Structure 1
Amino acid sequence: MSIQFFIMRRLAFITGILLILTLLNNPSNGLAKVKRSVDLNDVYQYQSRQNRLPKGLRPTSYRLEIEPSIYEAKFKGRVRINITWTDTSDRIILNAHPDLAIDGSGIKVKELGVDERKDIITPATGINVAGTTHNAKKSWYVIELEQMLRNGTKCEIDMKFTGNITTNKTSGLFRREYVDSAGKSHMVLGTYFRLDNAQNMFPCFDEPPYKTKYQLSVLRPKNMTALSNTELDRSTDAPGKPDFVWDHFKETPEMSTFQLALAITDFESISPTKMVNEMNGTRLNVKIWARKEYIDSLKNVPDKVVEIINYLQDYFNCSIGLPKLDLMAMPFYTATKSSDNWGLMFFKESELSGHQLWNIAYELIYQWIGQYRTPFRWSDVPVNKALNSFLASMTTVDINPDEMNGKWPMTVLYSLYYEFGKVFPFSRVAGIREEAKSAKTELIFRMFSYTLGKDLFRKGVRRFVQQENQEQSEEYSTNRYWLSLIRTPRIFFADDIYSRLNDVANETNNLPEGLTINEIAAPWIGRNRVPLVTVTRDYEAGTMMFSQKVFLRETSSRVVAKSNYEWDIPIVMLPQDNLNFSNTKPVAWMTKGNGNLTIHDITDKNSFIIVNPEEIGMFPVNYDSCNWKMLAEFLQGPNRQMIPVLTRAKLLHDAWNLAYGGELCFETALNMTHFLKNERSHVVWEPLFTLIDHVGRRIEGVSDVYAKFEVYIRSLLEPLYEYLLESSKSYREEPSWMIHMKGLTKNFLCRVGYQSCIQEAREQFKKWMDSEEPDKGNPVSNEFICPVFKWGTKEEWEFGLQRVINFPKNSLERKQSERTYLLKTLAGCTRDLLSIEKLLNMTLLEENSHFTNSDIQLVLSMLTGSAGGYLTLYHFLKQNWNVLKERYKDDKHLWDGIVSSATSNFNTQEGYDLVSGLHCLSKQSGLDSANWIIEDALKNILEETKWNEKNLKVINSWLTDNLSKDLLDSIDAANISHTIDNPHYPLVILSTPTPCITTIQPIGG
């Protein structure tokens, strides 16, 4: 799996726009989200439930003893915590999980005197405990004292406790079990303390700012090995337990509770053949641990880890601050992220054994930023995640550039463009916004790396990692309690990295006077929008003017974007006569509040310019028509590859998105596709697939335009597909990008009627139809089913329908997902309106036990994806209004879904008239919910109609001019044939009924 998949997984759920998730005939390529070392949805939920400990106490050391009973899934322990009072109080409040049983009667509190002349602890004085309370709601354990203790008092708390080892998830002190090939069961014990799970194992101050030292002792079976953050100091006998031994680990450096780690396993280890470079007089000792039968699959991992660590040590100019680092492949590790504890890391087996660098690099970086330097609060974690993600991508590019395949940052960036260009971005759960914020921040770091320069950026990161006690914000520096915590080494606030970058930027002239990195970053990260920069060249005067405004891909009178949003934008640009893409220093900055920027042109009037090459900044760029024309002509010429693939992709992507959003004539955007007939880079092609899909959905309701569009896309894709097929023969093992691109290209060709694809699909499907017992299993790959249902015969569609009806219930051999996929493609792929009508009769009208409400909702959802689908559903609803209304009167959710699916997807004036006619029925019926749904649909259709009125004629004219006469004739013949088979498809919407007189008007209209 390549890095593109890691990046796509990380943000795929943000937008849902990646085309591979929407292709009906290849769901197996859908890419699930993978959460990384701190998942921002978890952080968001944590922040909403967190009960911070009161101010007044600070831990200075822990001595912790843990006695796990692995097979009984229980443990007991003892902790002695040295604390210092930072305010006068008679209470000690610790974090303790409600399930942790603390021996309240055995708690001892001793005041520790200090001999200041010798700086040593003097004999302790006992302090009486008045009472204890375990507050389960807040996960607090409160110890009431009989006397008030003043600021500066030092005490030791001695507590004993018991608890349960977690067996159903990877949390707290957890146990996992695996069975080897001989059938023998093995137990594995580990810890996972993020975000606030240390309190599951022992009473503590379970918040990141409370960094201190730990001395850990653990009782383990003699036939197992214990590992922790630090090296083993010594082992001692366990009195009365001859099969056990006490392991005592060396004291840790100061660290937070979530960093503490423990593992007890019977794993084996392997060491690298390469050596970690010596740093600061020490050499890091690396080991990889796994179960015996899995260790061989990790044989290439140790040297890979050493290579990454050597790179990172050089980049940060320091080691991780510990003498050893253990990486462990955990079987059945179910946490949503790898555990990057300082000195001891836990991975899923598959994540550690993968061939790629990115994931391991990403987790290793946390040994420096996240562990060596620790976020002050969990609210500071997003910037930690974003910086580490950027550095992991940079590390991978530098060590193994082929792994990235040119995908980064395109997949992340384009997903954000789609989301930020919506009328209402991130209108779902707040956790998605947090993930998007992290992705934006990662790209801002990338922008600074380009604009400041790679060396200067690295200098700032080094200062951030190595600086122990830097100046803090006024909020904290004026507070005695927070100041006591800040003086703890190696913590950081979210803003600190920008401050360090600003420090190094001030040593150069890379930024305009008065502009800081912090001020630049804030609007980019804090807003759910990005700017659109428009460049207008005055070719006679030799000047160019830059303007900025909010980028909107969707246009609506109801848009809520702030028109006065402005950003500080670096203007990096290259002229045609000097395409030096290594020159990334801005020629100017557009700054907030200063209006448009006008500068001298950097080339002559016969040459183009490229602004924001390589997507240095997170913004699309529009040009005047003359510059676009020169770009399009150059891309069709022999020197096209002088422009790197990322920039070629950007030019194409910007043009189509701007045309889609109404900022650019579609004729210009389509002219930018001419060079694709000779383009073979998957990096350039990939973003276009989503754009093709989006535009196709817009124009599908107009058959003649859509048919031309399909033929044109096929003419572009056929040479690419043939090239991929031929090229794959020269690879002993096909790279992941080629497999992905072949699948994507084939999917689209199948959708637009590529004959060889349809023929292959029908041949495979025939094997199923010829089977003597077709209900026993499906021998056809999913990729072939949709093309058969779309381009095949009615008999083939009916066969698929019967397989849904006959699908065995409660079968161990057949998965329910097979039936779901069949039903989804039956509804979403067919072009035959009579088949759709039959499916609607069976699911909505007939008393058919074969179809559930979930099936109905699936069918409705799939029908909204095509003009034929929602048009047929509209007519079906109108003809059966009273019957359906009566049938679903007690299921408002389903009734509303039917009405919404039948009315909300039209985008022409004819469609508006149809829905207006249906509004008559809803008003006569007195159904408030249906009225509201239809009225809202009418408002949306009016908005959509504006898009069609502006663009359809332009697209149709361009396609007519650029398709050959033979192709146009074939389209006419196909349209006549399809109209005979489906007399109402889809231009029935041209027959205009008499609409109701309504008061529906667009807002502001």
Structure 2
Amino acid sequence: MGKGFYISKPLGFVLFGLGVGAVLTIFALSVVYSQEKRKNEVNARDGTRMVTTAAPHSTSAPSNEPWDKYRLPDTLLPAYYNVTLWPRLVPDEQGMYIFTGKSGVALTCVKETNLIIIHSNELNFTLTSEMHHAKLAGLGGTSAPVILKTWFQIQTQFMVILLKDNLQVGKSYWLYMEFRGELSDDLGGFYRSQYTENGVKKVVATTQMQPTAARNAFPCFDEPSMKAVFHLTLLHPPGTVALANGMELEVLQTRFEPTEKMSTYLLAFVISEFTNLRSPSEANVLIRIWGRREAIESGQGDYALSVTFPILKYLENYYNTTYPLSKSDQVALPDFAAGAMENWGLVTYREQSLFYDPKVSSNEDKEWVVTVITHELAHMWFGNLVTMRWWNDLWLNEGFASYVSYLGADYAEPTWNIVSNIYIFKYYEYILPPASCEGTQNELSFSPEERSDGAATGSEGVWRRRSCFLSPNYLHEYAYSNTVYTDLWKKLQEVVDADSSIQLPASINEIMNRWILQMGFPVVTINTRTGIISQQHFLIHPDAVVDKPSDYNYEWFVPITWMKSGSNMGQHWLLTKTASYEPMKTDTDWLLANLNVTGYYRVNYDPQNWERLLTQLTADHKNLNMIIHRAQIINITLALRTTKYLYEEKEYIPWESAIRNFEYFFLMFDRTEVYGPLQVSLFTYYKKKVKPLFDHFKVITSNWTRKPPRYMDQYNQINAVSMACKTGVKGCSELTRMWYRQWMKNPDSNPIPTNLKITVYCNAIAAGGVEEWDFGWQMFKNSTIAAEAEKLLYGLSCTKEPWLLNRYLEFTIEPNLVRKQDVAFAIVYISGNVIGQPLVWDFVRANWEHLTKDYDDGSFFFGRLIRGITRKFSTEFDLQQLQRFKEDIAASSFSFGTQAIEQAIEQTKANIKWVSENKVQVMNWLIEQSA
């Protein structure tokens, strides 16, 4: 952060001013779990049998039996597993890829019971003896009860074993099973990925267990608090290598070191023909970067290897705890649903998240790699060593890792100044999104089968003061065990109690609970004429009825930092709905609150103060000398007036903020009756603002022949070119089309600057026709670099030809054309095109059942898809279609995405209101500017 804006007085105020507010965003974005269950069973064959018998005493009414509940009973604890798996990397006679396995688990009885309930999903079990699907033996001389019956509860994904007698408390038992499953391509559980190398198809067997897919690979107690040690053996064909959490001990039939005591969702294994780069032999931790041979040999893993060891050492120092494993494998997978997964000792990534090629990849690609690596390695301690007890505390893991990802990246790449530049804006962007829907945030009752893709975004602030939030004893005290968020508050309170200089208005628990147990966040209104400050629950739809009760009456303890006219900084706790605070009273100075946007709240002012801020911004914008402050007051409400000074602005963050608000206007208006006049007026207005920026970069890059010298300028150059082309600045379209045409003439030599590729691809394809699109498609298909393929995936969505967009949509559901991991992105990209949006909406509704079958258990996929394709919805007709779609899905057997649709309905209502209130004012303002 920039100097001069942290308050050096009571540490407690700074701590919460910097951090507490971010908790709510972590909570809202990170913990979303639905009750959507798999619908299809694997067919039994070849001596295996799937039993679907209903439970004893089952009726059509809801049952209170333990096997009908989604949580495991608290009667048994696993100690360790012995698991042997044999995946077949070629299809069988029916064209299926299958795996077989044997699994044993040592159980300790902690409460008397005659039931063993263990998770199992889509596994076919061999009848081991006496027509049962399991064997039970006692350990340590204990005798085991006789098994009376075994059955499967499909809805709750349990194998249930009914015993003749009770298990004895304190005694241990061995449960053994043999099974078979499908190595499908649905990107979850134990699944297959494939790629082509030198014309030969290669199959990879890999895993994604979070949150609840370990049960798809072998029967287990699949909850995060059920930690155990895993002894794993993998059988695989010659020419392949097997990897797992522990170090491999043998080959072909690869046996691995036992894991540390860990949760099932962190288990991982990979069988492939990958090769690797490794750290020097003198390193105390073996680091290996794995991936496709072509990618590794071409150097795409070099950057990841170069930063991983320094980041690990940095984190060891940061945590004051040695990395607890002997190795750290990082594997780039051709097909992977998430960005990466923090499996302990075997981190899995999308290729784009681990591989970097300096000849092809952009600054953003490189930054993404180093921050994702740090994020995942941060979990090795916070998340893996110490794990949340249940999924509703996932925000704690993800928020911490998100923050540390910037610290580690800053350590690995100090010249980028990520923490004080990029980080500030990303915090601003995600902490205060344009919308907060009533009734869609901060739910505490979740089933563990839906995972949000927003876990890492906007959640870093809570961790900015590691010395207070994460005392050195926290990891040591809870190592290899589980915690809840109140354990962290307890540690924080110990820090506060031990330091008399920290003055807080209440206990840590009371302060934090107001932020994490209430929906949404406040808007703080400051009246500089009277000195009255107040808070109100912020809702994007002000007339909405909030039906979620709050024990705190939607009242927060808000830490407010503020300054007057560039000096005279102060701080204040707002503890009630309304309070009087004389130091904020002024008739002459401008006042700016929430310095550096570190608090999780919006700010509004009296009209006079807004005028003073706008006057200052127009007269001397640099007097608001921290660029984040200039971005802070460029918001939707005042966006048009606050952009008048932009022709003088050269910094990245204010321009980025202005552009995002500018884009919101077009999201809302591009299908209304004002779009034509609005487009002309707004483009003319912004053209005048961006032309000086475009000309500036033309000069400092010597007519686009070299990179801007400053790192943040390299980002702002993208804004300059993108906005200049969008608004019709002379020379921009010609520039992008010239680069693209040069590439078309010589496909082996791409002349486009790496940082500008996505902008050039989009603009050139939009301005061209089928020839440009077909060339881009061919380059996409030929690309062996994931980051390059991603840019082309987006660029192809920019065409103005409806038939090309329809063809592209059809391509997305052909796995041999577009990888499943990329389908949601491609469809959302197309929907961002004003021509493509209605095509996408029709396509998704028509293909909903097909998509659902392809993405069984795909809440992660559908949430991303629905949010992306409905963000433009702003009419009553849009709303009616959404509501009908929700009804159609509810009436079908495919219930994926219902929560995302409900959120889209709320967002659409808010958009309708915003458009109705603002379209006339926007048009009138633009007319005044052009008069």
TM (normalized to structure 1)? 0.61
Q: Judge conservation of contact 2:522–2:536 (CA < 8 Å) in 1.
A: yes
Partner letter of residue 199 of structure 1?
Answer: R
Q: What is the aligned partner in structure 1 of residue 391 from structure 2?
A: 378
Partner letter of residue 57 of structure 1?
Answer: L
Deviation at 1:615, TM superposition (A): 0.4
Q: Judge conservation of contact 2:399–2:459 (CA < 8 Å) in 1.
A: no
Residues 801-851 of structure 1: per-residue CA shift (max 9 Å, x gap): 9x99xxxxxxx9999997994356999xxxxxxxxxxxxxxxxxxxxxxxx
Q: Judge conservation of contact 2:427–2:460 (CA < 8 Å) in 1.
A: no
Deviation at 1:377, TM superposition (A): 1.8
Q: Structure 1 residues 350 and 416 mapped into 2: Cα distance closer, same or farther (>3 Å)?
A: closer
Q: What is the aligned partner in structure 2 of residue 345 from structure 1?
A: 347
Deviation at 1:570, TM superposition (A): 0.5
Deviation at 1:248, TM superposition (A): 3.3
Partners of 2:450 and 2:150 in 1: CA distance: 41
Partner letter of residue 262 of structure 1?
Answer: F
Q: Structure 1 residues 413 and 47 mapped into 2: Cα distance closer, same or farther (>3 Å)?
A: farther
Q: Are 1:97 and 2:121 counterparts? A: yes
Partners of 2:253 and 2:557 in 1: CA distance: 59
Q: Are 1:326 and 2:309 counterparts? A: no
Partners of 2:307 and 2:242 in 1: CA distance: 25
Give the one of 163, 171, 177 matched to 1:153. Answer: 171
Listed as ranges, the matches of 1:338-487 within 5 Å are 338-354=340-356, 355-356=366-367, 357-400=370-413, 402=416, 404=418, 406-411=421-426, 413-414=428-429, 417-420=432-435, 443=458, 445-446=460-461, 448-449=462-463, 453=465, 455-457=467-469, 459-460=470-471, 462-468=472-478
Residues 212-238 of structure 1: per-residue CA shift (max 9 Å, x gap): 2222233444544333222345x4xxx
Partners of 1:295 and 1:817 in 2: CA distance: 27
Listed as ranges, the matches of 1:150-229 within 5 Å are 150-157=168-175, 159-181=176-198, 183-184=199-200, 186-221=202-237, 223-229=239-245
Secondary structure, in 3 states, of the residue corresponding to 2:313? helix
Listed as ranges, the matches of 1:231-242 within 5 Å are 231-233=247-249, 235=250
Partner letter of residue 110 of structure 1?
Answer: A
- Shifted more, 62-71 versus 635-644: the winner is 635-644
Q: Are 1:719 and 2:684 counterparts? A: no
Secondary structure, in 3 states, of the residue corresponding to 2:581? strand
Q: What is the aligned partner in structure 2 of residue 286 from structure 1?
A: 287
Q: What is the aligned partner in structure 2 of residue 62 from structure 1?
A: 81
Q: What is the aligned partner in structure 1 of residue 315 from structure 2?
A: 312
Partners of 1:87 and 1:903 in 2: CA distance: 52
Partners of 1:146 and 1:166 in 2: CA distance: 35
Q: Structure 1 residues 520 and 299 mapped into 2: Cα distance closer, same or farther (>3 Å)?
A: same
Q: Judge conservation of contact 1:100–1:201 (CA < 8 Å) in 2.
A: no
Give the one of 563, 573, 581 matched to 1:598. Answer: 581
Deviation at 1:189, TM superposition (A): 3.2
Listed as ranges, the matches of 1:473-872 within 5 Å are 489-508=480-499, 513-538=504-529, 544-551=531-538, 565-576=554-565, 578=567, 587-592=571-576, 595-600=578-583, 607-625=589-607, 627-635=609-617, 640=622, 643-653=625-635, 657-659=636-638, 670=641, 672-694=642-664, 701=674, 711-729=684-702, 732-733=706-707, 741-742=716-717, 744-746=719-721, 748-749=723-724, 752=727, 754-756=729-731, 783=763, 821-823=799-801
Partners of 1:815 and 1:398 in 2: CA distance: 32
Partners of 1:444 and 1:500 in 2: CA distance: 20
Residues 586-645 of structure 1: per-residue CA shift (max 9 Å, x gap): 72210135x21414359x876444321110112232344554455445445668166221
Q: Judge conservation of contact 1:90–1:147 (CA < 8 Å) in 2.
A: yes
Q: Structure 1 residues 506 and 704 mapped into 2: Cα distance closer, same or farther (>3 Å)?
A: same
Deviation at 1:67, TM superposition (A): 4.2
Deviation at 1:701, TM superposition (A): 4.1
Partner letter of residue 383 of structure 1?
Answer: L
Q: What is the aligned partner in structure 2 of residue 125 from structure 1?
A: 143
Deviation at 1:192, TM superposition (A): 3.0
Residues 268-299 of structure 1: per-residue CA shift (max 9 Å, x gap): 332235976xxxxxx43322223433223212
Q: Judge conservation of contact 1:177–1:188 (CA < 8 Å) in 2.
A: yes
User: How much is the aligned-residue C-alpha RMSD, in angstroms?
Assistant: 5.3
Deviation at 1:265, TM superposition (A): 3.4
- % of aligned pairs identical? 20
Deviation at 1:650, TM superposition (A): 0.7
Residues 411-440 of structure 1: per-residue CA shift (max 9 Å, x gap): 56446645436789789xx99xx9999969
Q: Structure 1 residues 708 and 229 mapped into 2: Cα distance closer, same or farther (>3 Å)?
A: closer
Partner letter of residue 138 of structure 2?
Answer: E
Q: Judge conservation of contact 2:765–2:799 (CA < 8 Å) in 1.
A: no
Q: Structure 1 residues 519 and 223 mapped into 2: Cα distance closer, same or farther (>3 Å)?
A: same
Choose between structure 1 and 2 for higher RCO, CA contacts under 8 A separated by at least 6 residues.
Answer: 2
Residues 878-900 of structure 1: per-residue CA shift (max 9 Å, x gap): xxxxxxxxxxxxxxxxxxx9996
**Number of equivalences:** 730
Partners of 1:941 and 1:898 in 2: CA distance: 5
Residues 658-716 of structure 1: per-residue CA shift (max 9 Å, x gap): 447xxxxxxxx72x445423210121111212333556777984999987665443322
Partners of 1:765 and 1:299 in 2: CA distance: 29
Partners of 2:402 and 2:874 in 1: CA distance: 43
Q: Structure 1 residues 705 and 128 mapped into 2: Cα distance closer, same or farther (>3 Å)?
A: closer
Partner letter of residue 679 of structure 1?
Answer: E
Partners of 1:816 and 1:650 in 2: CA distance: 29
Q: What is the aligned partner in structure 1 of residue 893 from structure 2?
A: none
Q: Judge conservation of contact 2:330–2:349 (CA < 8 Å) in 1.
A: yes
Residues 99-125 of structure 1: per-residue CA shift (max 9 Å, x gap): 23233317442233xxxxxxxx4x453
Secondary structure, in 3 states, of the residue corresponding to 1:61? strand
Deviation at 1:576, TM superposition (A): 3.8
Secondary structure, in 3 states, of the residue corresponding to 1:305? helix
Q: Structure 1 residues 174 and 532 mapped into 2: Cα distance closer, same or farther (>3 Å)?
A: closer
Partner letter of residue 225 of structure 2?
Answer: P
Q: Judge conservation of contact 2:655–2:719 (CA < 8 Å) in 1.
A: no
Q: What is the aligned partner in structure 2 of residue 19 from structure 1?
A: none
Partners of 1:250 and 1:138 in 2: CA distance: 32
Q: What is the aligned partner in structure 2 of residue 877 from structure 1?
A: none
Secondary structure, in 3 states, of the residue corresponding to 1:534? strand
Partners of 1:816 and 1:504 in 2: CA distance: 48
Partners of 2:916 and 2:85 in 1: CA distance: 69
Q: Judge conservation of contact 2:399–2:463 (CA < 8 Å) in 1.
A: no
Q: Judge conservation of contact 2:344–2:384 (CA < 8 Å) in 1.
A: yes
Q: Judge conservation of contact 2:617–2:624 (CA < 8 Å) in 1.
A: no
Partners of 1:184 and 1:706 in 2: CA distance: 50
Q: Structure 1 residues 76 and 761 mapped into 2: Cα distance closer, same or farther (>3 Å)?
A: closer
Q: Judge conservation of contact 2:340–2:372 (CA < 8 Å) in 1.
A: no
Partners of 1:421 and 1:677 in 2: CA distance: 32
Larger Rg: 1
Partners of 1:440 and 1:198 in 2: CA distance: 20
Partners of 2:393 and 2:487 in 1: CA distance: 10
Structure 2: gaps (5+ residues):
1-25, 40-67, 357-365, 743-759, 774-780, 783-791, 806-829, 840-872, 881-907
Q: Structure 1 residues 821 and 630 mapped into 2: Cα distance closer, same or farther (>3 Å)?
A: same
Partners of 2:210 and 2:544 in 1: CA distance: 45
Q: What is the aligned partner in structure 1 of residue 844 from structure 2?
A: none
Partners of 1:743 and 1:66 in 2: CA distance: 49
Deviation at 1:491, TM superposition (A): 0.9
Q: What is the aligned partner in structure 1 of residue 868 from structure 2?
A: none
